[in-house]
Amino acid sequence: MTVIAVGNQGGSAGKTTFVVNAAARLAQRTGRPVRVVDLDAQANASHWLGHHEPAGAPTVSDVLFHGAALIDAARPVVDVDQLSVVPARRAEMEGADVTLSRVLGGEQKLRMAIAADPQPPAITLIDCPGSLSTVTVAALVAADLAVTVFAPMEKEAGAVAAFEDTVTQVAAAYNPRLRLAGVVPSIVPGGGGRYYTDVLAQVRDGWGDLVTPPVRRSVRVPEAYSAQQPLTVYAPGEAVTADLAAVVEHLLGAGVAGAAR
């Protein structure tokens, strides 16, 4: 089992797009169970995977705050075999950071839930909040690896170093196996341009082989979100879908999906 926390500290940068579509691609590519855990209060991964405002079964907040089991909260994704999601409900996750920070050992809650899972998937991808928070720390404590996503602009690229610093601090304080395993350029303009090329070059100079192939901007992304289908289902022949597949192949080649605990 490999647990990958996906986050950033620079605002909207295609993080959820990467989580949802990398998870779908991994499930199809490996044929093994893959699970998305939605920790973002916006609950966009839950919506994208067909579980908008979930009712009935437990949600991720029940896992964090009420001792619910991950296996009971996980729900299948209709269009992708072997893919499931532990959904979030917006009303429950608003303020979750403050609530979790007041719980004794709150940063350990997700780790303990994953460790107690009697049927863990081969790969779990955690969609973290888009900023540093107690919830993000809990995701990193639970993870084997961290991946960050950034848009190729100076401010967003600068957030890569901030996220890596957070990973380093969490590794030192809670989770020595944790390491940064991927830096994904996202929402890259298709026509390129000197500014974007220069920013990507600077990031590659700083993080080398951790930097994956870029994911281009595409109107198919919001369309797929609205259709509640991963790009591998909604637009399998589009360039952005191929870009995400190339990112997954890069990570698989680097042994990311085989980093068992």
Res. 192: pLDDT tops 70? no
pLDDT tens column, 12-29: 679 999 999 999 999 999
How many Å apart are CA 87 and CA 122, to the nearest integer? 18
Residue whose C-alpha is closest to residue 35's, from 114, 96, 112 = 114
pLDDT tens column, 193-250: 788 889 999 999 999 999 999 999 999 999 999 999 999 999 999 999 999 999 999 9
Chain mean pLDDT for the chain: 92
Q: Average pLDDT in the 169-194 region?
A: 90
Residue whose C-alpha is closest to residue 186's, from 243, 225, 238 = 243
Other C-beta atoms within 10 Å of 153: how many? 14
What is the model's pLDDT at position 191? 66
Which of 130-134, 147-151, 225-229, 247-251 is predicted least confidently? Answer: 130-134
Q: With contact defined as beta carbons under 8 Å apart, do 33 and 1 qualify?
A: no
What is the model's pLDDT at position 147? 97
pTM of the predicted model as reported, rounded to 2 decimal places: 0.95
Pick the CATH number of 2-256 from 3.50.50.60, 3.40.50.300, 3.30.470.20, 2.60.40.1930: 3.40.50.300
| Alpha-carbon separation of residue 141 from 8, 10, 18, 182, 231 (angstroms) | 15, 20, 21, 17, 30
Q: Domain ranges for the chain, please list them.
A: 2-256
| Alpha-carbon separation of residue 9 from 62, 147, 149 (angstroms) | 26, 12, 9
What is the model's pLDDT at position 252? 93
What is the model's pLDDT at position 249? 96
Write phi, then psi, for 21 (nearest 5 degrees). -85, -30
Tokens of 236: 């399998």
Q: Residue 88 — left, alpha, or beta (φ > 0 → left; ψ -120 to 50 → alpha)? A: beta
What is the model's pLDDT at position 132? 86
What is the model's pLDDT at position 231? 98
- Own/partner contacts of 111-116, CB < 8 Å, gap of 24 or more, are 111/138, 111/141, 111/142, 111/175, 113/63, 113/64, 113/69, 113/70, 113/142, 114/3, 114/70, 114/142, 116/69, 116/70
